Amino acid sequence: MRILGIESSCDETGIAIYDADKGLIAHQIHSQIELHATYGGVVPELASRDHIRKTIPLIRQVMAEAETSPEQLNGIAYTAGPGLMGALLVGASIGRSLAYAWNIPAVSIHHLEGHLLAPMLDDPKPEFPFIALLVSGGHTQLMEVQGVGDYQMLGCTLDDAAGEAFDKTAKLLKLGYPGGPKIAECAKQGNPDRYKFPRPMTNRPGLDFSFSGLKTFALNTLHKDGDDPQTKADIALAFESAVAETMVIKCRRAVEQTKLKRLVVAGGVSANLHLRQRLGEMGDKLGVEVFYPRQEFCTDNGAMIAYAGLLRLQAGEQDENAFYARPRWPLNELNKI
Ligand code: KG4
Ligand code: ZN
């Protein structure tokens, strides 16, 4: 079974072909970072228009690289949500139309399920059940995962998502967009002994997060101590450490609560090396195996959508002749397969 995956929920056009026997055979990502950089964040209308320009040429390119003709495809998976409505509509309408024209099934995929399964694009694949920490630009969720579609929420953010906190803090520090990689880069020059930021919501029980206070903490520190390069690096490091340690504390609690010994970390922020190192240390101490997607598949991509589509099509799921775009779509509304 060979599946074409299309991702267009935000500011990346991602196209991939995944084969049940051969694995991932081709993939391309077109990032819109430059397009949005001047505005300091994603401009939805510009994002939609760029997806319109890029999706079909990228599909052509990936099919050529995979030496795959439409007759060799067994289905098309596209991201149906959550995300920006206009951006989603591009991938959904193109994906559904091509499937109709080529007389193959289409399946609409939940973007976060794609992220969650992305570590399975490489070996060794994490086996179910596991704890999942999903940390992206729009979401921060801790879940107990028993199987595909079987997601039990353990905790989530009460305000900013982890990636959003990185992006907003980077903006305060005038580091540019997207903030995650910029903060990580700047933090390398930081002095770990200068500031200690709070670890929000760790002094009470529970698995929820709150990151908006850290941003304010960064702003106040900046106002107090000035914005010379060293102070900015020290703030970036203090912020990154606070986010990472907060996540470690919550993951440790999730391990104690669920007794599960596998942890999957996915979504854009899972690319963060400081976070990976801290979670790795926690894993070693507790005997917990920690899985991540490969770096390029932490952020949005088509490969994770093709893979999730394969699992759902293999399980007999497919859409009727309609296309779906759901900017808001709770993960617990998915079918278990
Ligand atoms: O998963 P993703 O590509 O998009 C959403 O589904 O939201 O995540 C994007 C987010 C952005 O907020 C970006 O700043 C963050 O992931 N990010 C990082 C790193 N790389 C990307 N955050 C921290 N460290 C990184 N290395
Ligand atoms: Zn994403």
Neighbours of 57 (CB within 10 A): 13
- For 247, counting Cβ atoms within 10 Å of its Cβ (0-12 exposed, 13-18 middle, 19+ buried), the class is buried
% of residues, the chain, pLDDT over 70: 100
Q: How far apart, in Å, are the Cα atoms of 215 and each of 186, 243, 250?
A: 16, 11, 19
Same CATH topology for 2-117+297-333 and 128-292: the answer is yes
pLDDT band at 246 (very low <50, low <70, confident <90, very high): very high
Helix, strand or coil, per DSSP, at residue 25: strand
Distance 194 CA to ligand 2 centre (A): 33
Residue of the CA atom closest to atom 23 of ligand 1: 180
Q: For residue 18, which of 217, 301, 334, 320 has the smallest C-alpha distance?
A: 301
Band of residue 279 on the pLDDT scale cut at 50, 70, 90 = very high
d(CA 255, CA 143): 11
- Average pLDDT for the chain: 97
Classify 84 as helix, strand or coil: coil
What's the pLDDT at 199?
97
Contact between residue 163 and residue 269 where contact means Cβ atoms under 8 Å apart: yes
Q: What's the CA gap between 3 and 27, in Å, rounded?
A: 12
Domain spans of the chain, in order of start: 2-117+297-333, 128-292
Residue 155: per-residue pLDDT:
98
Quick one: pLDDT at residue 232?
98
- Quick one: average pLDDT of 57-64? 98
Report the pLDDT value the prediction gives residue 173, as an integer from 0 to 100: 97
Question: CATH assignment of 128-292?
Answer: 3.30.420.40
| Closest atom, ligand 1, to C-alpha of 115 | 1
Q: What pLDDT score does 243 carry?
A: 98
Query: 276-302 burial string, b = 16+ CB within 10 Å, else e?
Result: bebbeebbeeeebebbbbeeebbbbbb
What lies within 8 Å, CB to CB, of 63 at 6+ separation is 4, 17, 26, 69, 70
User: Residue 265 — pLDDT band, cuts 50, 70, 90?
Assistant: very high
- Identify the pLDDT of residue 222: 97
Ligand 1, pocket-test mutation among 33, 243, 299, most atoms within 8 A of CB = 299
> What residue ranges line ligand 1, CB within 6 angstroms?
10, 115, 136-138, 163, 166-167, 178-181, 184, 267-269, 271-272, 299-300
CA 181 to ligand 1 centroid distance, Å: 8
**Phi, psi torsion values for 2, nearest 5 degrees:** -125, 125
Question: How far does Cα 254 stand from its chain's mean position?
Answer: 20
Side-chain-facing half-sphere of 265: CA atoms under 13 Å: 27
Write the pLDDT tens digit of every residue in 154-175.
Answer: 999 999 999 999 999 999 999 9
How confident is the model over 129-148, as pLDDT tens digits? 999 999 999 999 999 999 99
What are 168-200's pLDDT values in tens digits? 999 999 999 899 999 999 999 999 999 999 999
Q: What is the mean pLDDT of residues 32-56?
A: 96
CATH topology of domain 2-117+297-333: Nucleotidyltransferase; domain 5 (3.30.420)
Question: The pTM is what?
Answer: 0.97
Going by C-beta distance under 8 Å and a sequence separation of 6 or more, which residues neighbour residue 200? 209, 210, 211, 213, 214, 242, 246
